[in-house]
Amino acid sequence: MSKFIGRLGRLRSERGMTTAEYAVGTVAACGFGGILYKILTSEPVQGLLAGVIEKAFGVIGG
């Protein structure tokens, strides 16, 4: 019976560790998304993207 309790205790600690890792990953992904959003909505990058899209439509439209 003590072996079972020992295994159960290890499972619980590993579950908490996995949850903590997911939480850190989620926070990191949200931070990266926020930075990416700020970069993509800045005026210089928007101008660059608009230029690329205009060139692409110019090639497609002839």
Under the banding of pLDDT at 50, 70 and 90, the label for residue 59 is: confident
Tell me, what amino acid is at 59?
V
Cβ neighbours of residue 45 closer than 8 Å, sequence gap 6 or more: 39
Distance CA 49, CA 42 (A): 11
Kindly state the percentage of the chain with pLDDT values over 90: 56
Q: What is the pLDDT of residue 46?
A: 95
Distance CA 32, CA 45 (A): 17
- The model's pTM is 0.56
Query: 42: helix, coil or strand?
Result: coil
Domain ranges of the chain: 1-59
**Would you say how long the chain is, in residues?**
62
